[in-house]
Amino acid sequence: EVPKQKHDYQSDVARMRKIVVNSLYSNQCEHFVRELLSNANDALEKLRIVSLTNKDIVDPSQPLNITIRAVKDEEGTGGRLIITDTGIGMSPDDLTRNLGTLAKSGTSEFLAKADSLDTSGGGNLIGQFGLGFYSSFLVADQVYVASIPTKSETNPEPAQYVFSSSADDSSFEIYPDPRGNTLGHGTEITLVIRPDASQFLNTDRLKELVEKHSSFSTAFPIYLLTQVTEEVIDEDTLTEDEPSTAEEPSAPSEESVLDDDDDVVVEEVSEEEVPTKEPKVTTVTVDKWAHLNEQPPLWMRDPKDVTNEQYIEFYKTTFKEDEAPLAWHHFQGESGDGIHFKSIIYIPHELNPEFWSKSTSDNKGVRLMVKRVFITNDLGDDALPKWASWLKVIVDADDLPLNVSRETLQSTRFLKTLRSFVIKHLIKLMTRIAQDDPDKYVEIIKVYGNAIKLGAVESTKERNRLAVLARWPTNLRNFTSLDEYYVNRRQGQKQVFFHAGVGATTENLAKSIFVEKVHARGYEVFLLSEPLDEILFTNLGQWQDIRFQDVAKKGLEFGDEEEDLEAEKAKDEELATRFQPLVDWLKQETKDVVIDVTLSKRLVTSPCAIVADTYGYSANMERIMNAQNA
Binding residues for ATP: 35, 39, 85, 90, 98, 104-106, 128-133, 187, 406
Question: Is residue 87 part of the contact set for ligand ADP (CB under 6 A)?
Answer: yes
Contacts of 92 (CB under 8 A, 6+ apart): 5, 161, 174
Question: Is residue 136 part of the contact set for ligand ADP (CB under 6 A)?
Answer: no
Shortest gap between Cβ of 109 and Mg ion (angstroms)? 15
Name residue 553's beta-bridge partners.
612
Question: Is residue 35 part of the contact set for ligand ADP (CB under 6 A)?
Answer: yes
From ligand ADP, Mg ion, none, interface partner of 415 (C-beta below 5 to 8 A by class): none
Give the CA dihedral 194, 195, 199, 202, nearest 10 degrees. Answer: 100
Identify which range of 84-92, 264-272, 514-522, 536-544 contacts ligand ADP by CB under 6 A: 84-92
Q: In whole angstroms, what is the distance from residue 76 CA to residue 314 CA?
A: 34
Identify which range of 98-106, 163-171, 274-282, 445-453 contacts ligand ADP by CB under 6 A: 98-106
From ligand ADP, Mg ion, none, interface partner of 320 (C-beta below 5 to 8 A by class): ligand ADP
Quick one: how far is CA 208 from the chain centroid?
Answer: 24
Question: Is residue 187 part of the contact set for ligand ADP (CB under 6 A)?
Answer: yes
Relative to beta strand 546-550, strand 495-500 is parallel
Shortest gap between Cβ of 133 and Mg ion (angstroms)? 6
Number of residues that bind ligand ADP (CB under 6 A): 16
Question: Is residue 90 part of the contact set for ligand ADP (CB under 6 A)?
Answer: yes
Shortest gap between Cβ of 629 and ligand ADP (angstroms)? 46
Q: In whole angstroms, what is the distance from residue 82 CA to residue 62 CA?
A: 18
Q: In whole angstroms, what is the distance from residue 261 CA to residue 378 CA?
A: 42
Site for ligand ADP in 39-58 (CB under 6 A): 39-40, 42-43
Residue from 196, 172, 200, 209 nearest 21 by CA: 196
Encoded one letter per residue, x for contact with ligand ADP by CB under 6 A and - for no contact, window 335-374 reads ----------------------------------------
3-state secondary structure 14-73: HHHHHHHHCCCCCHHHHHHHHHHHHHHHHHHHHHHHHHHHCHHHCCCCCCCCEEEEEEEC
Encoded one letter per residue, x for contact with ligand ADP by CB under 6 A and - for no contact, window 311-340 reads ---------x--------------------
Using the minimum distance from each CB to Mg ion, give the nearer residue, 107 or 160: 107
Using the minimum distance from each CB to ligand ADP, give the nearer residue, 39 or 549: 39
Shortest gap between Cβ of 317 and ligand ADP (angstroms)? 10
Shortest gap between Cβ of 88 and ligand ADP (angstroms)? 6
Q: In whole angstroms, what is the distance from residue 422 CA to residue 627 CA?
A: 36
Figure out which of the listed residues 132, 249, 297, 473 binds Mg ion, where binding follows CB under 5 A.
Answer: 132
Using the minimum distance from each CB to ligand ADP, give the nearer residue, 39 or 293: 39
From ligand ADP, Mg ion, none, interface partner of 29 (C-beta below 5 to 8 A by class): none
Using the minimum distance from each CB to ligand ADP, give the nearer residue, 95 or 433: 95
Quick one: how far is CA 186 from the chain centroid?
Answer: 28
Figure out which of the listed residues 28, 39, 165, 217 binds Mg ion, where binding follows CB under 5 A.
Answer: 39
Q: Roughly what angle, to the nearest 10 degrees, separates helices 531-540 and 619-629?
A: 120
Amino acid at 28: Q
Shortest gap between Cβ of 135 and ligand ADP (angstroms)? 8
Figure out which of the listed residues 78, 79, 92, 132 binds ligand ADP, where binding follows CB under 6 A.
Answer: 132
Q: In whole angstroms, what is the distance from residue 94 CA to residue 98 CA?
A: 6
The neighbour count for residue 166, using CB atoms within 10 Å, is 14
Identify which range of 81-89, 121-129, 156-164, 583-591 contacts ligand ADP by CB under 6 A: 81-89
Give the CA dihedral 302, 307, 311, 314, nearest 10 degrees. Answer: -90
Identify which range of 15-23, 124-132, 348-356, 372-380 contacts Mg ion by CB under 5 A: 124-132
From ligand ADP, Mg ion, none, interface partner of 409 (C-beta below 5 to 8 A by class): none
* CB-based contact 2:103 (threshold 8 Å): no
Length of the chain: 630
Identify which range of 6-14, 126-134, 284-292, 561-569 contacts Mg ion by CB under 5 A: 126-134
Rg of the chain, C-alpha, whole Å = 34
Figure out which of the listed residues 9, 32, 129, 133 binds ligand ADP, where binding follows CB under 6 A.
Answer: 133
Residue from 66, 103, 94 nearest 81 by CA: 66
Using the minimum distance from each CB to ligand ADP, give the nearer residue, 43 or 140: 43
Three-state SS at 270: helix
Q: Encode burial over 391-424: b for 16+ CB neighbours within 10 A, e otherwise.
A: bbbbbbbeebeeebeeeebeeeebbebbbebbbe
Q: Could you tell me the CA-to-CA distances from 462 to 140, 423, 546, 569 in Å, in that order? A: 53, 9, 20, 45
Q: In whole angstroms, what is the distance from residue 35 CA to residue 318 CA?
A: 11
Quick one: how far is CA 238 from the chain centroid?
Answer: 63
Shortest gap between Cβ of 43 and ligand ADP (angstroms)? 3
Encoded one letter per residue, x for contact with Mg ion by CB under 5 A and - for no contact, window 77-116 reads ----------------------------------------
Identify which range of 34-42, 210-218, 259-267, 301-309 contacts ligand ADP by CB under 6 A: 34-42
The neighbour count for residue 429, using CB atoms within 10 Å, is 20
* CB-based contact 248:287 (threshold 8 Å): yes
Number of residues that bind Mg ion (CB under 5 A): 2
Instruction: Output the known binding site.
Output: 35, 39, 85, 90, 98, 104-106, 128-133, 187, 406
DSSP characters over 159-224: --EEEEE-TTSSEEEEEE-TT-S-SSSEEEEEEEE-GGGGGGG-HHHHHHHHHHHTTTT-SS-EEE
Name residue 223's beta-bridge partners.
67, 291
Shortest gap between Cβ of 125 and ligand ADP (angstroms)? 16
Shortest gap between Cβ of 161 and ligand ADP (angstroms)? 12
Question: Is residue 377 part of the contact set for Mg ion (CB under 5 A)?
Answer: no
Question: Is residue 160 part of the contact set for ligand ADP (CB under 6 A)?
Answer: no
Shortest gap between Cβ of 132 and ligand ADP (angstroms)? 2
Q: Which residue is nearest to ligand ADP (CB)?
A: 132
From ligand ADP, Mg ion, none, interface partner of 87 (C-beta below 5 to 8 A by class): ligand ADP
- The dihedrals phi and psi of 339, each to the nearest 5 degrees, come to -95, 130
Identify which range of 32-40, 49-57, 414-422, 524-532 contacts Mg ion by CB under 5 A: 32-40
Q: In whole angstroms, what is the distance from residue 359 CA to residue 416 CA?
A: 20
User: Which residues of this protein are in contact with Mg ion, per CB under 5 A?
Assistant: 39, 132
| Contacts to ligand ADP by CB under 6 A | 35, 39-40, 42-43, 85, 87-88, 90, 98-99, 104, 132-133, 187, 320
